[in-house]
Amino acid sequence: MLLVLDSSIGTSVAVVDLERGVIAERGEADTMRHAEVVGALIRDVLAEAGVTVDELSGVVAGMGPGPFTGLRIGIAAARVFALGAGKPLVPMVSHDAIAADWYEAGGTGELLVVTDARRRERYYSTYSDADTRVQGPALAKPDDLPEAANRVDATSVSAGALGMVAERRYAAGLPFPADEPLYLRSPDVTLSAGPKRVTA
């Protein structure tokens, strides 16, 4: 049984199990309220699932890609929850949840997953099936996105779906990505060219 947190777009929290599926899932779509809602969402999802912290076998963190400020909150919460619970952290690529949803709904073939990266750019990943990411996650201008037979422009990530991908990967003995936030951009900062004159 896994607790799953993803704040790569909104905030989504779930408890999942390989056999029982998604046991409970709650979310907040607002992309500006991650820090407010994350604590109560975890508490409420555990309560709804009727699962104690001790019963969990790990904590999944959606590592993005996603806008930095929100993304970090879910990762910080997942890492520290795992520490407090004494359970392993399971990093996952957030786009995998979007792809899993699409294939689950009957989609077949090649898929391009696209999410908003702000500043007129997009995050994208491509898949050949639900468990196989071929490209990405990466960052591109809308016109430079790769071609694919199918495309999903997602505005939410489901922690439930992400957790189920993690359960299947674990069961199949597939590797997990590194425990690193997928910012895909350097901090926005320019080196100072020295002090500016104050007199003309």
Partner 1 sequence: MNTDNPLVLGIETSCDETGIGIVRGRELLSNTIASSMDEHARYGGVVPEVAARAHLEAIVPAIHEAVAEAGISLHDLDAIAVTSGPGLSGALMVGIGAAKALAVSLDKPLYAVNHLVGHVGADILDPAGDAFEYPTVALLVSGGHTSLLLVRDLVSNVELLGETIDDAAGEAFDKVARVLGLPYPGGPQIDRVAASGDPKAIRFPRGLTLPKDLEKHRYDFSFSGLKTAVARWVEKKRDDGDEVPVADVAASFREAVADVLLTKAIAACHDYDVPRLLLGGGVVANARVRELAAERAQAAGVQLRIPPLSLCTDNGAMIAELGAQLIMNGHAPSTLDFPADSSLPVTEIQVR
| Interface contacts to partner 1, rule CB under 8 A | 33-40, 42-43, 46, 53, 68-69, 72-85, 181, 183, 187-189, 191-192, 194-195, 197-199
Residue 35 CA to residue 22 CA, distance in Å, equals 24
State in angstroms the smallest separation of the CB of 56 from partner 1: 9
Query: To which residue do tokens 């951009």 refer?
Result: 185
In whole angstroms, how far apart are CA 121 and each of 33, 85, 115, 140? 22, 37, 9, 6
198: number of Cβ within 10 Å:
5
Residue among 171 and 193 whose Cβ is closer to partner 1: 193
Q: Where would I find the H helices in the chain?
A: 34-49, 68-85, 95-104, 159-172
- Strand 122-129 vs strand 132-140: parallel, antiparallel, or unpaired? antiparallel
State in angstroms the smallest separation of the CB of 89 from partner 1: 9
Residue among 113 and 182 whose Cβ is closer to partner 1: 182
Residue among 129 and 179 whose Cβ is closer to partner 1: 179
State in angstroms the smallest separation of the CB of 132 from partner 1: 29
State in angstroms the smallest separation of the CB of 181 from partner 1: 7
188: number of Cβ within 10 Å:
7
Residue among 69 and 132 whose Cβ is closer to partner 1: 69
